[in-house]
């Protein structure tokens, strides 16, 4: 005990190293962390979908429809390059929130909004035959 008191800095460093090792040794997998984060958001009444990859032309309309019709937030979290851990986290998060939102609204709201956004986008495209 006397040694620990005399070498406080060394003791503090050793405790910090031990804590980091424990954290990375017993850290749950990314998919479990994604599920937990989604369940936490849902328990607070927040529904969200995490967006990653290259967006489509109709993504802005899709995001607007989700928000206006159902209060679902769309968060862009990454581009088109993901690590395996990120893909597992985002996939697990989206699976939990998608299932919960579809149960809450009693139908597939994501499919509905995607189809409406695609349809709206294709109807607003200028006709190639009418271009000069």
Residue pLDDT, tens place only, 53-63: 888 999 999 99
CA distance 39 to 47: 10
Give the pLDDT band (50/70/90) at residue 131.
Answer: very low
- 65 lies in some domain: yes
- 73 lies in some domain: yes
Length of the chain: 132
- 71 lies in some domain: yes
Give the pLDDT score at 8: 79
Give the pLDDT band (50/70/90) at residue 15.
Answer: confident
pLDDT at 114 over 90: yes
CB count within 10 Å of CB 48 equals 19
Q: How many percent of the chain have pLDDT more than 90?
A: 64
- 45 lies in some domain: yes
- 23 lies in some domain: no
The CA distances from residue 120 to 1, 73, 107, 124, 125, in Å, are 73, 20, 20, 6, 9
- Where is pLDDT greater, at 34 or 1? 34
**How many structural domains does the chain have?**
1
- 34 lies in some domain: yes
Question: Which residues have CB under 8 Å from 106's CB, separation 6+?
Answer: none
Give the pLDDT score at 6: 74
- 109 lies in some domain: yes
- 15 lies in some domain: no
* Cα dihedral 86/88/89/95 (nearest 10): 140
**Domain span holding position 77:** 30-130
The CA distances from residue 26 to 2, 29, 46, 85, in Å, are 31, 9, 28, 16
Global pTM reads 0.76
């Amino acid at each position: 005990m006397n040694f620990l008191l005399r070498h406080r800095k060394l003791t503090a460093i050793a405790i910090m190293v031990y804590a980091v090792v424990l954290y990375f040794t017993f850290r749950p997998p990314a998919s479990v962390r994604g599920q937990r984060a989604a369940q936490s958001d849902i328990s607070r009444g927040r529904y969200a979908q995490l967006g990653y990859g290259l967006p489509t032309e109709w993504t802005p309309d899709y995001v607007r429809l989700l928000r206006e019709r159902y209060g679902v937030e769309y968060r862009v979290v990454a581009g088109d390059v993901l690590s395996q851990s990120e893909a597992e986290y985002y996939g697990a998060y989206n699976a939990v929130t998608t299932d919960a939102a579809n149960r809450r609204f009693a139908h597939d709201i994501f499919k509905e909004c995607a189809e409406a956004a695609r349809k709206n986008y294709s109807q607003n495209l200028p006709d190639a035959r009418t271009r000069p």
